[in-house]
Amino acid sequence: MEHGPSAERYCDKDPFVMKYADHLLELFPASKFVLMVRDGRASVHSMITAGVTITNFDLSDPRQCLSRWNQAGEEKCLIVHYEQLVLHTEPEMRRVLEFLDLEWNDNVLHHEDFVGEKIKLSSAEKSSDQVVRPVNEDSLYKWTNFYSADVINDMSLIAPMLAKLGYDPTANPPNYGTPDDNPTLQAEELIELHPSESLDL
């Protein structure tokens, strides 16, 4: 099956590739994975509002999902927190490129300028429409008005993995930190500026 022209390197942005991580390592032993960890509340909000399902995969069991990636090991899998990539794009991208043994290039900070030319996107991937945009804070706080009060009150019990991954399950809105480029832009302002409107897997 051919997905595009020949290239020295291929990048697959697929939220569901974790199902096949061990098999992909067998097929492509030189491959590496960047595991994008995101606030589970934001991820679930995105999947529910987009109607995304994964056949024969238990999305309610984050341990199962994470354990598959854990088998890849530190040399093959780099964990990147989505929120930190958005708020601190350059230092996080430097870390990613170093992990991938690639030289730094400022173009990675302006990927949207190369979509359609050097970057080919899959029409089958629901979040491809976001890749055409610059890195932005839109999706960080969309979920904060999504959950009912009883779910928010029980968040620590419903999703204990949040705390294990470094997220405060009681914070609504959460404090992910201050963006590098605009220290005055706070969570409350972002909620007002970016109402829930598009898919953000």
For 182-191, write each residue's pLDDT tens digit: 433 444 444 4
In angstroms, the first-to-last Cα distance of the chain is 25
The pTM of the full predicted model, rounded to 2 decimals, is 0.65
Q: Please, which pLDDT band fits residue 59 given cuts at 50, 70 and 90? A: low
For 117-162, write each residue's pLDDT tens digit: 766 655 555 555 566 667 878 889 888 888 888 888 998 988 888 8
Superfamily holding 17-193? P-loop containing nucleotide triphosphate hydrolases (3.40.50.300)
At a CB cut-off of 8 Å and minimum separation 6, what does 33 contact? 17, 21, 69, 72, 76, 77, 78
Task: Tell me the domain boundaries of the chain.
Answer: 17-193
Across the chain, mean pLDDT equals 75
